[in-house]
Structure 1
Amino acid sequence: MGMHDAQLEERLRLNENAAQSLGDRVYEVLRDAIVAEELEPGDRVSDKEIAEALGISRTPVREALQRLAWIGLVEVSPSRYTRVTGVSEELAAGSLEYTALQAGLALQLAVRRMDGTELTEAVSRLDGMIDAADRDDVGELMRAARAFIAYVSRHSGNAVLTRVMSDAAPLLERNVRRARLDQPPLAARAAAYRSLRDAMLTRDADAAERWLRGLHDPLMI
């Protein structure tokens, strides 16, 4: 594994929450380590080693690994191995495309349904994306984009869409990090984000969705 026993113990202690099961806490620790690439693609993950490192039974660890397999962050070959999944260029591009499609739908609903205060907050988060693109800061753009998408998803008024996006978020975040966010160039992204901003402020939900999706599919603009 890519993490030391002491790191696992410390993460589990910091995640301690009386309202959570032990399996939930182990899941969150391993999920966050994979998303942050502290556990890298191809790393083997042993339920026995993790359980021993944490001084717990293997049952909650197995539960956590099953959940990670379900969302696609680990792959399991029975009686052989459990390892962190890889991220091909095709998978990264597909994850970015899927994110844009789902985020576009969430944004359209949110623009229609947010009140004035919520819309102002959404635009403020978009401004963070514009600032990062203007400064050619891909890392900050990704962080700002995650905050923006999470916000509009929560305010889409569609509980099913919000749940699906929330469940997929860890996998997409890990995969999209490998995507080419410099295409189109960040200057072009900044210009598109400003057009998106105008559409949001005028409550043009269709245009807002089109601009967001069009960043990843020029034929849709």
Structure 2
Amino acid sequence: MKSERARLDQILRLPTSSQHTLGDLVHEELSAAIVDGRLAAGERVNDKGIAEALGISRTPVREALQRLTLAGLVEVSASRYTRVTEVTDEMAASTLEFAVLQAGNALQLAVSRMDDRGLAGAVALLDRMIEASELDETDTLVQATREFVIYIIGQARNADLLRVLRNENAVIERNLRYSARSFDLGTPAVRRGPYRRIRMALSARDADTAEHWFRVQCRLLGAAGMGVAAVAAAA
């Protein structure tokens, strides 16, 4: 028990100052710890140990654990355990499908709402993706994809879309990181056609065609780029 307390002391931290409530801060920290693996899948957690490690009362910890349970990051078996949930292949696939749909919706809205300057910015970011794809630079392509989707979600200017993504933030990112471990980005030749069509549709302000080919490309890139970007944009 002593070693477990020491480990929690090392991996959990709360900011020294914030405008958020203590319950929100605990929720954010535990969510982040689950997403980045500090709290591993299957690991048991309890309000007493976490509260002691953070130097706070158990009440905000209980509130945070309840929210994490509702989000699907934590599961509770009455009088037995509270633990971090395991990610299954089915969960990861479902989350990727959801993220692709939301990003496509954002692009549909963004194309119709961007002014000329906004459109030029979107095309410039897409060109970075195309360049990285042609050079087959995976890390650069992933980063460029994230930047593009973050930009598009902002240009969609839809408060409800941002709210949904923000509320599902941690579980989306955790599940997509799981699927990214075995995801194949494909080859430059496979990616080339969809990118070209997205660019043409963007330039023509053809929202339906841009959305269609973006969804195709998202499925090629998968969690390695698109899904995690949606989380970052909503944070």
TM-score when normalising by structure 2: 0.78
Partner of 2:11: 7
Partner of 1:89: 89
Gaps of 5+ in 1: none
The Cα RMSD (Å) is 2.6
3-state SS of the aligned residue for 1:31? helix
Partner of 1:171: 171
Alpha carbons of 1:127 and 1:46: their partners in 2 closer, same or farther (altered >3 Å)?
farther
Q: Which one-letter code corresponds to 2:151 in the other structure?
A: Y
Native 8 Å contact 1:42 1:86 kept in 2: yes
Is the aligned partner of 1:41 residue 2:45?
A: no
Q: Give the number of equivalent residue pairs.
A: 213
Q: CA deviation at 1:201?
A: 2.3
Partner of 1:197: 199
Gaps of 5+ in 2: 221-235
Alpha carbons of 1:178 and 1:58: their partners in 2 closer, same or farther (altered >3 Å)?
same
Q: Which one-letter code corresponds to 1:207 in the other structure?
A: T
- CA-to-partner distance for each residue in 1:159-185, whole Å, 9 max, x for gaps? 1122112222321111112225316x1
Q: CA deviation at 1:143?
A: 4.5
- How do 1:112-131 and structure 2 match up within 5 A? 112-131=112-131
TM-score when normalising by structure 1: 0.83
Distance in 1 (alpha carbons) for counterparts of 2:47 and 2:132: 40
Structure 1 stretches of 4+ moved >6 Å: none
Alpha carbons of 1:149 and 1:71: their partners in 2 closer, same or farther (altered >3 Å)?
farther
Q: Which one-letter code corresponds to 1:74 in the other structure?
A: V
3-state SS of the aligned residue for 1:82? strand
Alpha carbons of 1:87 and 1:155: their partners in 2 closer, same or farther (altered >3 Å)?
same
Distance in 2 (alpha carbons) for counterparts of 1:169 and 1:142: 19
Larger fraction in helix: 2
Partner of 2:224: none
Q: CA deviation at 1:202?
A: 2.0
Alpha carbons of 1:169 and 1:211: their partners in 2 closer, same or farther (altered >3 Å)?
farther
Q: Which moved more, 1:191-200 or 1:29-38?
A: 191-200
- How do 1:97-116 and structure 2 match up within 5 A? 97-116=97-116
Partner of 2:223: none
Distance in 1 (alpha carbons) for counterparts of 2:144 and 2:16: 28
Alpha carbons of 1:21 and 1:80: their partners in 2 closer, same or farther (altered >3 Å)?
same
Alpha carbons of 1:177 and 1:6: their partners in 2 closer, same or farther (altered >3 Å)?
closer
Native 8 Å contact 1:16 1:25 kept in 2: no
